[in-house]
Amino acid sequence: MEPDFVSWRGHRVHIKVTGQGHPPLLLITGLGGSTDQWTPFVQQFQHRCVIRFDVPGMGLSSATYAPIPVAGVADLAVAVLDWLGVPCADVVGYSYGGAVAQQLAFAYPERVCRLVLAATNCGVGAVPGSYAAMASLSTPLRFYSETYFDRTAAELYGGMTGRDLSMRRRMMAERHRHPPSAYGYSMQLLGTVGWSSLPFLSRIPHDTLVICGDDDPLVPVVNAETLARRIPRARLEIVKRSGHLFLWDEAKRLSVRVTRFLDATAGTSLAEPITQLV
């Protein structure tokens, strides 16, 4: 399939759509990420229409010369849905993409059917990860150097990627396909400065799955607990021995959990909040 592009605020934004099935599933990735990195997860959803896009400065999208704030990327997500003629989608936001997904659900609630927040936090007010993990996150070197990725994977990502050399090699191959530019990565980091969902979490009306791994050095479990406690209709799942990249390095296991949530909440109406620990 040839890549598709949409024009947005002077940027040429790459989008990728696969499969069929309603409602579509919109995937929003983490810092430096591209549509390629979702491949293992998307392969588990053969009977769903899955939508992915590259934030400007990432993947195949055009470069950006100024930071795009989280709210701006949420606007971009809406523009992608508009271009595809999609009124409402189930949304999976991973890490940085989880921040965008929270903003999207708050600012455009009618465009979100159900919400999945994976390995993410509330921004300002969150509990930071380990010093080593946060230091590694500050540079895109892991997208360029296999040696650096291999050396820092355990302290940055934990989970299967940290434990399994063959998994790290697969991750390295996917990351090197369309790595972000150093400048684009810096602009994406700057776009997160000052953002926080704490003021509006209680006004997110959707059935929401907050899911995290208990071996994630970058986003401690307490952050997922905060999101689940403050979002009225949230369900919390803590996945044992999983790390920050669990949607990709344990794609089959995690897709089952996401599908179970989407199936269980299909057609539900506003009711009592749902919270559970798994």
**What distances in angstroms separate CA 247 from CA 29, 67, 135, one per listed residue?**
10, 27, 22
Tokens, residue 131: 């010093």
Catalytic residue flag (residue 166): no
What is the number of residues in the chain? 278
Q: Which of 95, 136, 197, 242 is catalytic?
A: 95
- Residue 112 sits at φ, ψ, to 5 deg, of -115, 125
**Owner of token pair 């050095």:** 217
Give Cα 123 distance to the centre of its chain: 14
DSSP structural state of residue 65: S
Measured CA distances, 150 to 12, 34, 162, 206 (Å): 33, 20, 8, 38
Active site residues: 95
